Amino acid sequence: MRILAIDPLDRVTGSCYLVHVPESDVRLLVDCGGYQDGLNADLLTEADFEFHPSMITAVLLTHAHFDHCGRLLKLVRDGFRGAVIATRETIEIAKIVLADAQRLRGDIDSASTLDAIRWRPYGTHLFASPMPIATDVFVQAHRSAHIVGAVSLEIIAGPKEYPESQARVLFSGDIGNNFDG
């Protein structure tokens, strides 16, 4: 499994990690966040990706803040056709966040692009067992206390029947702020 941080490491916003599993040629984005800091935030949010969006298998969202989902519309406009996988709460909040951000920017094409996103909620057993992405790639959600619907995501690569040989990486997303359960 290979992981590439897409964003410059000197920024707080714009969470986006490309995870490539060469054995199955699966490419996942963990988050696809927009930028919120400084005068160049809009330019950075609309800048070209360092990969071709059509090569991405799926996007996994940790939560719905703009700095974790804000570039999804650009990703779709640039050729992404896979699913955006998240909790039901994250999907509902992300739709509002994206529509509001585009309205504030005066983007008249946002409604059709937002409708083109293929949202896919995690199954009914969200925390019970890993969700298959491909034959040998799975994602396991773990509870997070950041905002409603937020999760940490564990990506597991390798045959399910041989767990001792699987590679695992955990993306925390943002954590904290919710101490009430």
pLDDT tens digits, residue range 14-68? 889 999 999 999 999 999 998 887 667 777 878 889 899 999 999 999 999 999 9
For the sheet containing 118-121, what is the strand order?
Answer: 2-5, 17-21, 26-30, 58-60, 83-86, 118-121
Secondary structure (DSSP) of 55-111: G--EEE-S--SHHHHTTHHHHHHTT--SEEEE-HHHHHHHHHHHHHHHHHHT-TTHH
Question: From CA 1, how far away is CA 145, in angstroms rounded?
Answer: 27
Tokens for 174?
Answer: 């943002």
Residue-level pLDDT at 44: 80
Alpha-carbon Rg for the chain, nearest whole angstrom, is 16
pLDDT in tens, 124-147: 667 778 999 999 999 999 988 778
Q: Contact 72/32 with Cβ under 8 angstroms?
A: yes
> What span, in angstroms and rounded, lies between the C-alpha atoms of 157 and 147?
28
Q: What confidence score (pLDDT) does residue 36 get?
A: 81
Can you give the pLDDT at residue 154?
94
Of the candidate ranges 1-5, 56-60, 82-86, 93-97, the one whose mean pLDDT is the lowest: 1-5
Share above pLDDT 90 across residues of the chain, in percent, rounded to a whole number: 54
* Mean pLDDT, residues 79-84 taken together: 97
* Reported pTM: 0.88
pLDDT of 123 higher than 80: no
Average per-residue pLDDT in the chain? 86
Residue matched to tokens 């983007």: 107
